[in-house]
Chains A and B, each alone.
Chain A
Amino acid sequence: MLKIECPWCGPRHETEFRYGGEAHRVRPEKPDSLTDEAWAAFLFMRTNTKGAFAERWCHVNGCRRWFNVLRHTVSHEILAVYAMGEVPPVPGARKEGGQ
């Protein structure tokens, strides 16, 4: 069970959070202008990263805020926690929240 550093509430058990999948997928501004293929890519395709992976978490049993986490998908080490709308930090450049 991961230990996740909520930016608002501090370190908490994973059971307090809901996983929100891959981060930085932006809903297209004008879906109507997209081809079927491009829309299907937005709907269904996700990257399956081995290594540092940016993903969304929501502290559902706490402050109910969404935020981003950079997590290593093999070691589960949490490399960074950052706000919605922020650019993902470069892994290794800033290492925090890890064990």
Chain B
Amino acid sequence: MSMLNRTASGGSVDRSKPLNFTFNGQSYRGFEGDTLASALLANGVHLVGRSFKYHRPRGIVAAGAEEPGALVQLETAEHTEPNIRATQIELYEGLVASSVNVWPSVDFDVSAINGLFAKLFTAGFYNKTFMWPRSFWMRLYEPVIRRAAGWGRAPTTSDPDLYDHMHDHPDVLVIGAGPAGLSAAVEAGRAGARVVLVDEQAEPGGSLLTLEREIDGQPGRDWVQDRIAELEAMPDVRILSRTVLFGYYDHNYLVAVERKTDHLPVMKRPGRIRQRTWHFRAGHVVLATGAHERPLVFADNDRPGIMLAGSVLTYLNRYGVFPGKEVVLFTNNDGAYETALALHEQRLKVAAVVDVRHQVTGALPARVRALGIPVFAGHALSATRGGKRVSAVEVRPVQQGAGKLTGAGRWINCDLVAMSGGWSPVVHLFSQSQGRLEFDAGKSAFVPAHAVPAQTVAGAANGDFLLKDCLLAGREAGRNGVLAAGLKPKRRKPAAAVHEPETAPMEPVWLVPGREPVGVGKAKHFVDLQNDTTAADIALATREGFESSEHVKRYTLTGFGTDQGKTSNINALGILSGLLDRPLGEIGTTTFRPPYTPVAYGALAGRNIGRWSDPVRTTSIHPWHEGNGARFETVGQWHRPWYYPKNGENLQAAVNRECLAVRNGVGVLDASTLGKIDIRGPDAAEFLNRVYTNAWSKLGVGRIRYGLMCREDGMVFDDGTTARLAPDHFLMTTTTGNAAVVLDWLEDYLQTEWPDLRVYCTSVTEQWATVSVAGPKARRVLEKLAPEMKLGPDDFPFLSFQEGTVAGMAARIFRISFTGELTFEINVPWHQGLALWKAVMDAGEEFGITPYGTETMHVLRAEKGFIIVGQETDGTTTPQDLGMDWIVSKAKPDFIGKRSFTRSDTSRPDRKQLVGLLTEDPETVLPEGAQLVFDPHAPKPMPMVGHVTSSYYSAALGRSIALALVKGGQDRMGQHVFAPLEGGTVTAVLTSPVFFDKEGERQDGEI
């Protein structure tokens, strides 16, 4: 197919490089330098999709990031990406794209029948129509709406592309490489500042790529090339094209995404970074983000072939494409006349220029009139015709201010309408940075009024639409950056001589009247083309009481979606202002939030995917666990052995076997992950007195004590054992997942509350590997490895520690127990952990030593009623709730949490308290988290009195056991509680939480 609508020459496309592409299964050709949108228009394709709610035919409206409608599904299979704006896709050989939201095809769309049900789909239809009956929503309405509404399809396979992240700290970050941004970058670069210039397009130049302008006698495009060449020659300047600055956060932290391979054929991309996310912390930011043209809101303004006038000029001048051959322009300002002149120069028929202004006196209109082109001043488009493309428009005289039509209409045939409602500064990034906007009545636009520190807005983004002003403002912005960097700006050169047309003032028009009042009849005045929001929807919202711009936005969906209302917001606000009869400045804008344009998840994730998504911590013994078939459990970032299945055992079988081995023989656990904090200093004992609930001053050297930590509110925060290695030296252990938090907690108190205490804390978790040998035969194993040590209960009693040589390694051995069995926790330097483990396994072989994992550890401690912080506690549990009053000192004057134990809330008798549960049926294992009630026949909702915190099958006891927190539980021993579950109610009796060896006779093992 030939390119019907291509000019003979001109533009920045490379006509020597044709490219083949496919849209909706049809093959087309374009040129290098085209976007998908310009190439489609060159082939006469206007109809590219269907609208969101009504499935009306939709075409290409704009030429850049502001495009509301032309969303496509790009590429297929694993490379597919939904909802990409055709106006921002650079054409490449073999590109494949298709329409979104069309079924079965863009040309024949059965869902257009939605248009007949338009009354159902007014603002708030989700909330109103489908509330009742509720079951219909899930079964009927929701699936139908899901199919009919929405846009493209998310890829279903994982993303094959590579992404990465970079950080930079420029003196001056310039956003936008149009005339203002280029001037700023050059000014800053010349003074020696480190400059980064970011531009979203493939080609720098901004408006100079569209408008024919001369700067100092030089064509605009040549001026751009010279500036880029100068910047490229500077050593400290980085130019990032194809880079969208999408987020502007506090203190000049900005984030951008650079498209590195998206413009290349898919087959040429593998092995290369597809997109790079840039993080900037800039000294000074220059926002030169330009302006977006506004559509006019008139009756049936959504037909394909109705475009923005400035975009038509862009297609003509930059891409050498004319989107139509018979054109009507509709405007409220002089800018559209420039498009009319350019179209005429290409010998296209300009059927009419329709201008809502009654006084049309500018130089540009005069030139248009001189060419014999009819100019209808004080007229408006009151209706349009056309199916899949606009075919005619009705022109009628309109009142001054466009409030009412005043006369008869005439129809004019056309295949393109180029409209202009004036220009809106692109203030998205400015607003993200918390800059304040003000409504400028003269420009009829929201413009930056108060910028955050270290930022300058320049050019059209600041409401300066003339090129000569842009150049000057850019230069001054660059100088601001230079001064902020502590450098000396170069002397100012005289302002450039600019040749550009004079323009007369525009006249704001937010809503163009139709033949019938808005909302009456079939015609629709579209405000937001992406969300199918009409002027009638906004009127409905105000009738229903929504007046705040933020509420109207949410009720009507204006400004939602992938374009975030770049073309629609201002018109919606203008219409709202008219409806409420309040000035626009008072209505204000809705909030601009990042991202400026959608960003792929892959770009945000960068390299932090798969095994790099989160660090994995393993112990020095990990290779042995892996080699011996351990299943792993994630605890914090640690991978800990969960259980070691043998001969195809399942979890329960393996845990039963491991538990019995520890109870009857000997088992071994890798306890290296336990948090270990080395605490030193003359005031260390005093410090422990303050952070633990029990007393520490009298703990002898070589002895160990269990401690409980609370927060100031009296709730249990962590627990563990601490050994006194020397008078001024302790080794504290913490729970595995809480090690870093506890260290931070200790540091907080030492640095901020008690800086007078001479105490130093050091994390030594990864300095010591810990092998815990537990069971009645544990001593037998250790005797073989440490023949010189005296290990009997008198020489090495429970809760003491010794240093010695184990298997030839210098070791610290702690006699503590989390199982109730005789246990030696052997600590050696981290790198020797594996050697120690192997030595223990060899020595224990004759006793049937059995490695066990975290699951067995949990069962064994639950049998003994030992708590796990975070399982039996949840931040609302006091030591008293846990029945651990014995560990709370009455003698100490103060410790963290003490005062709170006498608060009214913590001394309530009906607090949830730790109890044991024995189910009536010993084989039933309650699910952890199950809610408990006292009366299973109580009417629903039943009063819930507690929940199961731990629940296991105990092989040693031959039945299930559970721990629970139950209201007033400690006074209800022997009574029943009930767990109403899906499969029936489970009955259990409250008991002591200690199920096994209540007297603690086993802790010294076989003597």
On A, residues with C-beta under 8 Å from B are 1-3, 13-14, 18, 20, 26-27, 30-32, 34, 36, 39-40, 42-43, 56, 58, 60, 64-66, 75-78, 84-85, 98-99
B751: which A residues are within 8 A, CB to CB?
A: 65-66, 84
- Asked whether A3 lies within 8 Å of B251 as measured between CB atoms, the reply is yes
- Asked whether B712 lies within 8 Å of A2 as measured between CB atoms, the reply is no
Asked whether B12 is an interface residue with its Cβ less than 8 Å from the other chain, the reply is no
- B715-764 interface with A by 8 A CB criterion: 744, 747-748, 751-753, 755
A99: which B residues are within 8 A, CB to CB?
A: 251-252, 452-454
Which residue of chain B is the closest to A18 with respect to CB atoms? B744
Which residue of chain B is the closest to A11 with respect to CB atoms? B281
- Asked whether B281 lies within 8 Å of A3 as measured between CB atoms, the reply is yes
Known: A43-B712, A76-B250. A60 touches B899 (CB 8 A): no
CB distance from B676 to the nearest CB of A (A): 17
A76: which B residues are within 8 A, CB to CB?
A: 250-251, 434
- Asked whether A58 lies within 8 Å of B748 as measured between CB atoms, the reply is yes
- Asked whether B898 lies within 8 Å of A32 as measured between CB atoms, the reply is yes
Contact of A30 among B249, B894, B902, B904 (CB under 8 A): B894
- B878-914 interface with A by 8 A CB criterion: 893-894, 898-900, 902-904
- Asked whether B253 lies within 8 Å of A77 as measured between CB atoms, the reply is no
A40 to B249, CA, bound (A): 37
- Asked whether B434 lies within 8 Å of A75 as measured between CB atoms, the reply is yes
Contact of A66 among B251, B713, B752, B902 (CB under 8 A): B752
- B446-493 interface with A by 8 A CB criterion: 452-454
- Asked whether A32 lies within 8 Å of B454 as measured between CB atoms, the reply is no
Contact of B755 among A2, A32, A78, A85 (CB under 8 A): A85
CB distance from B479 to the nearest CB of A (A): 18
A12 to B893, CA, bound (A): 41
CB distance from A78 to the nearest CB of B (A): 8
List the 3 closest A-B pairs by CB distance, nearest first. A31-B899, A3-B251, A99-B453
A66 to B755, CA, bound (A): 11
A65 to B755, CA, bound (A): 12
Which residue of chain B is the closest to A65 with respect to CB atoms? B751
A55 to B454, CA, bound (A): 24
A20 to B157, CA, bound (A): 42
Number of B residues with CB within 8 Å of any CB on chain A:
27
- Asked whether A43 lies within 8 Å of B900 as measured between CB atoms, the reply is yes
CB distance from B746 to the nearest CB of A (A): 11
Which residue of chain B is the closest to A23 with respect to CB atoms? B752
- Asked whether A43 lies within 8 Å of B713 as measured between CB atoms, the reply is yes
Which residue of chain A is the closest to B711 with respect to CB atoms? A43
Contact of B253 among A1, A20, A26, A75 (CB under 8 A): A1
Known: A20-B748, A75-B452, A99-B453. A32 touches B894 (CB 8 A): yes
B894: which A residues are within 8 A, CB to CB?
A: 30-32
CB distance from B970 to the nearest CB of A (A): 24
A3: which B residues are within 8 A, CB to CB?
A: 250-253, 281
B755: which A residues are within 8 A, CB to CB?
A: 84-85
Most chain A Cβ neighbours within 10 Å, of B249, B453, B751: B751
Given contacts A2-B251, A43-B713, 18 further A-B contacts (CB under 8 A): A1-B250, A1-B253, A13-B281, A20-B752, A31-B898, A31-B899, A32-B894, A39-B900, A40-B903, A58-B744, A58-B747, A60-B744, A66-B747, A66-B751, A76-B434, A77-B453, A84-B752, A98-B453
CB distance from A64 to the nearest CB of B (A): 6
Most chain B Cβ neighbours within 10 Å, of A27, A64, A99: A99
Which residue of chain B is the closest to A77 with respect to CB atoms? B453
B899: which A residues are within 8 A, CB to CB?
A: 31-32, 34, 39
Contact of A1 among B251, B898, B904 (CB under 8 A): B251
- Asked whether B903 lies within 8 Å of A1 as measured between CB atoms, the reply is no
A75 to B434, CA, bound (A): 8
CB distance from A76 to the nearest CB of B (A): 5
Which residue of chain B is the closest to A60 with respect to CB atoms? B744
20 A–B contacts, CB within 8 A, in A order = A3-B250, A14-B250, A27-B753, A31-B898, A32-B894, A36-B902, A36-B903, A39-B903, A40-B903, A42-B712, A43-B712, A56-B752, A58-B747, A58-B748, A76-B251, A77-B453, A78-B251, A84-B751, A84-B755, A99-B453
CB distance from B43 to the nearest CB of A (A): 46
CB 8 Å contact bits of B65-104 with A (1 = contact, 0 = none): 0000000000000000000000000000000000000000
A36 to B903, CA, bound (A): 6
CB 8 Å contact bits of B852-896 with A (1 = contact, 0 = none): 000000000000000000000000000000000000000001100
CB 8 Å contact bits of B836-865 with A (1 = contact, 0 = none): 000000000000000000000000000000
A40: which B residues are within 8 A, CB to CB?
A: 903
A58: which B residues are within 8 A, CB to CB?
A: 744, 747-748
A84 to B753, CA, bound (A): 9
CB distance from A63 to the nearest CB of B (A): 11
- Asked whether B748 lies within 8 Å of A66 as measured between CB atoms, the reply is yes
A32 to B901, CA, bound (A): 11
- B329-387 interface with A by 8 A CB criterion: none
A3 to B454, CA, bound (A): 13
A98: which B residues are within 8 A, CB to CB?
A: 453
